[in-house]
Amino acid sequence: MTIRYGYGTNGLTDLRLDDALGLLADLGYDGVGLTLDHMHLDPMAPELAARTREVAARLTELGLGVTVETGARYVLDPRRKHGPTLLDPDPEGRAARTGLLVTAVQVAADLGAHAVHCFSGITPDGTDPDTAWKRLVESITPVLDAAQAAGVPLAIEPEPGHLLADIAGFHHLRTLLGDPEPLGLTLDIGHCQCLEPASPADCVRDAGPWLRHVQIEDMRRGVHEHLPFGDGEIDFPPVLAALDATGYQGLTVVELPRHSHAGPDMARTSLDFLRSMGAPA
């Protein structure tokens, strides 16, 4: 198989970024899903461009690819998880999220990343669906413009409980926007198991033309909990075979954000598992 595996830094938050990158290279990962956060390339701190150049040099030294992820829980608001979002009732809140994503696009371009990940956010209380979709379209358009200019795809993730919760929601947004070239899909394999009507392998096949980023972990039907491999219900060999058949060239990033306390061990055992599942019969 030609799948290129990465590991998300949101599952290595107890490590310094330089140490996390060194660990992943030593373990044999092909790359890293870099979540911009206060402990790892803080997008809100001074001298971001200089710090980004240092990380880019380190990635090159280690031979690691990278995708930029934007799921930091409290990077914009220390009291609201993932707030504000692209759907926030406050225009200034929406603008803050848009600004962060535009910054992420520039960081991704400077790192040579293959994509920037994002999500819609949860529909605020009292907001009707039409208004929520209108806000999403308006808020994400400047990010798509930046992505087009930088030559970096923007890969939006269907997230359980969010306005854009599934693959059908991705296609709805794509239609509302007029199918812009920079807009792609982040497919989380666990989310497919959690709520999509099709099997995870069928989801991969259906999503193939729009895949720009892939996240992977185990999960159970109807329960949005990221689990170590083998603790959920996913049959991985068909999923990995389907992913390999799409010709997707980006990273497939292990996402275990609640397992940072055991991050180094999780990184090691996750790669061992994935390699064993993708081995020829």
- Sequential DSSP letters for 199-229: -HHHHHHHHGGGEEEEEE-EEETTEEEEE-T
Q: Pairing relation of β-strands 218-220 and 223-227? A: antiparallel
Whole-model pTM: value is 0.96
Helix axes 91-111, 48-62, angle to 10 degrees: 40
Q: Which structure tokens are listed for 100? A: 């962060």
CB 157 within 8 A of CB 188: yes
Identify the pLDDT of residue 280. Answer: 44
Report the candidate in 107, 138, 140, 123 with the shortest Cα–Cα distance to residue 34: 107
> What confidence tier does 77 reach under pLDDT thresholds 50, 70, 90?
very high
Average pLDDT of the chain to the nearest whole number: 97
User: Cα torsion at 259, 263, 269, 270 (round to 10°)?
Assistant: 60
Identify the pLDDT of residue 279. Answer: 55
Q: What mean pLDDT is predicted for residues 43-48? A: 97
Give the separation between CA 43 and CA 35, rounded to whole angstroms.
10
Residue with tokens 């809100």: 44
User: Cα torsion at 267, 273, 274, 277 (round to 10°)?
Assistant: 180
Upper half-sphere CA count for residue 60 (Cβ side, 13 Å): 9
* 138-174 pLDDT, tens digit each: 999 999 999 999 999 999 999 999 999 999 999 999 9
Give the separation between CA 92 and CA 98, rounded to whole angstroms.
10
Q: What mean pLDDT is predicted for residues 118-128? A: 97
Residue 220: other Cβ atoms inside 10 A: 15
What percentage of the chain reaches a pLDDT higher than 70?
Answer: 99
Phi–psi pair at 151, nearest 5 degrees: 75, 30
Q: What mean pLDDT is predicted for residues 89-108? A: 98
Residue 96, pLDDT > 70, answer: yes
* 46-57 pLDDT, tens digit each: 999 999 999 999
At 31 the three-state DSSP class reads strand
> What confidence tier does 278 reach under pLDDT thresholds 50, 70, 90?
confident
* 241-258 pLDDT, tens digit each: 999 999 999 999 999 999
* 165-188 pLDDT, tens digit each: 999 999 999 999 999 999 999 999
CB 48 within 8 A of CB 107: yes
Identify the pLDDT of residue 281. Answer: 34
* 213-244 pLDDT, tens digit each: 999 999 999 999 999 999 999 999 999 999 99
Q: What mean pLDDT is predicted for residues 58-87? A: 97
Residue 19, pLDDT > 90, answer: yes
